Amino acid sequence: MAIASVVGVGMISFGKHPDRTLVDLGSEAAYLALKDAGLSPKQVQIGFFANGFAGRLFGDFTIGQNVFWNVGINRIPVVNVENACTSGSTALYLAYNAVAAGQVEVAMVVGAEKMYVPELGLLNSGQTELETQLGRVAPASFALRAIRYMAEFGATPEQLARVSVKNRRHSGLNPLSQFRNPITIEEVLKAPMIVDPLTRYMCCPNADGAAAVIVASPDIARRLGRAVIIDAAVLVTGNYENPQDQLRWETDSRACQTAYEKAGIGPEDLDVAECHDAFTICEILHYEAMGLCPTGEGARFAAEGETELGGRIPVNTSGGLLSRGHPVGATGVAQIIEIVTQLRHEAGERQVEGAKAGLAHCMGGDKEGDTKSCTVAIFSV
């Protein structure tokens, strides 16, 4: 029985928006979601705004109120959410619970990020200081996982590269993606090395972007139509007491299993999935955590085309973080929008035929060999 559904979605293109403010980006996505749902601003009863870096970059920690007011929404609770890469999906988790608990009938989630800020000043590398700091730590951590995975299971750089090629192919079918030109395995392997064995094309790009969803009660959803049911929305943090496996994240499998139990389905019931592919090794490890393939077989699973459009279980049909782009606060919401779009059968050339159930997975932050946050949401029609 449905207790909350997504009834409206809105998203702008991911990429560089040098002439637009963060509030502009978020407001447009919010407006598009209202229009898609057929709701007026006055019908929204609570708002959640997700963002990762605005406090650090612009010194403003309460941007959500500005975004919502820009589309005519005021006098309601507005919550600003920061939770690393899961900021947007954490906001969805909060909205889902507010509606499921009967506190409100209509909740709006907006995720937005502005990461292209050249006015902060360029370093000698041609990057901003933010880009340089982001690029120092995260790739090294994931490169170590890739090295260990290849040593333990015999995976190859070519298999890792296949993930980039696949996601770029999907991205070419998504008009809102940042990078849409196809790439080859050879191009991925010959790209500049970021941290061995991860080349530039194996790492996700920074981006500006915004995405919004509206969550509503069953009564509202029935009246509006085109609703996609939220069967489970899970948020977990890591188990840091006894770190065991420095290759995988304990939160990953735990969050997925909890979501499957709440939704009453298993991985075999999924038709499509979006996962946190910040680096190619991430997507491969997430296949295994989601139960799409056995442990150690994720690289082969990708190389054999099982996760491509037309394969057994298409993953990251949007292009994923690797090609759609990764504006941190918007990413989790964008993943949800892709699943909703697929289940509405409105994905155009990238449509998964007959899609009825989908999963959106996101994670963020490293701590003690695990991750600080992991979200999994399951949807159906």
Active site positions, annotated: 85
DSSP string, 305-361: TTTSTTSSS-B-TT-HHHHH---HHHHHHHHHHHHHHHHTT--GGGPPTT--EEEEE
Residue 230 CA: distances (Å) to CA of 46, 112, 321, 333, 358 = 18, 22, 22, 13, 10
Percentages helix, strand, coil for the chain (3-state, rounded to 5) are 45, 20, 35
Angstrom distance (rounded) from CA 340 to CA 347: 9
Q: What's the burial of 38, exposed, middle or buried (CB within 10 Å: 0-12/13-18/19+)?
A: middle
- In degrees, rounded to 5, the angle at the alpha carbon of residue 352 between the alpha carbons of residues 346 and 353 is 95
Per DSSP, which regions of 15-54 are E strands?
46-50
Give the 3-state secondary structure of residue 74.
coil
CA–CA distance, 90 with 141 (Å, rounded to integer): 23
DSSP code, position 120: G
Tokens in use for 181? Answer: 């030109």
